Chains A and B, each alone.
Chain A
Amino acid sequence: MQATLASTADGLRSLMRADFTTQWRNRKSVILVLIVPVIILISWKGLVDKFGAVFVLSNCITVGLNAIGLMGYTIAIARDRDRGIFQRLRVSPIPSWTIMMSRISVQLLMILLLTVCVYFFGYNIDKISISPAGYVLGFLAALVGGAVYLGLGQMIVGLIKNAETVNSTTRLVYFAFIMVGMFGELGVLGKQISEISKWSPYGAVRRILSDAMDPIHWNQESTMTLFVTIGYAVLFTVLGIKWFRWNSK
Chain B
Amino acid sequence: MIKESNGYILEVKNLNVFYGNFQAVKEVSFSVKGGEIFGLLGPNGAGKTSSLSSVEGLLKPQSGSITVAGIDTTQDPLHARANMGVQLQSTNFQPELRVEEIIRLYGGVHGVKLSKDDIAKILNDIKLSDAGKKPFGQLSGGQQQRVSLVIALLHQPPLVLLDEPTTGLDPQSRRQLWERMEGLREKGHGILLTTHSMEEAEAVCDRIAIIDHGRIIATDTPAALVEKHRHDEPVVRASRKGRITLEDVFIGLTGSDIRE
* A94 neighbours in B (Cβ, 8 Å): 78, 109
Q: A interface, how many residues as a size bin? A: 20 to 34
In the assembled complex, the Cα of A95 lies from the Cα of B82 at a distance in Å of 12
**A1-25 toward B: CB 8 Å interface, digit per residue (1/0)?**
1111111001101110110011001
Are A3 and B156 neighbours in the complex by a CB distance under 8 Å? yes
Given A1-B2, A3-B82, A18-B94, also A87-B88 (CB < 8 A): yes
Are A3 and B157 neighbours in the complex by a CB distance under 8 Å? yes
Are A6 and B158 neighbours in the complex by a CB distance under 8 Å? no
> Considering residues A7, A90, A247, which has the most beta carbons from chain B within 10 angstroms of its beta carbon?
A90
Count contacts on B: residues with CB < 8 A to the other chain. Answer: 40
Are B88 and A6 neighbours in the complex by a CB distance under 8 Å? no
Nearest CB of A to B134, in Å: 13
In the assembled complex, the Cα of A85 lies from the Cα of B94 at a distance in Å of 7
Q: Which of B79, B91, B94, B105 contacts A93 (CB 8 A)?
A: B79
Are A3 and B155 neighbours in the complex by a CB distance under 8 Å? yes
Are A15 and B111 neighbours in the complex by a CB distance under 8 Å? no
In the assembled complex, the Cα of A85 lies from the Cα of B112 at a distance in Å of 20
In the assembled complex, the Cα of A87 lies from the Cα of B52 at a distance in Å of 13
* Interface assignment of B108: CB less than 8 Å from any CB of chain A: yes
Nearest CB of A to B3, in Å: 11
Contacts A5-B79, A17-B104 known; list 16 others, CB within 8 Å. Answer: A1-B157, A1-B158, A3-B2, A3-B69, A3-B156, A4-B111, A6-B111, A7-B111, A17-B105, A22-B94, A22-B96, A91-B58, A91-B84, A92-B106, A93-B78, A93-B82
A contacts, CB < 8 Å to B: 1-7, 10-11, 13-15, 17-18, 21-22, 25-26, 80, 83-85, 87-95, 246-247
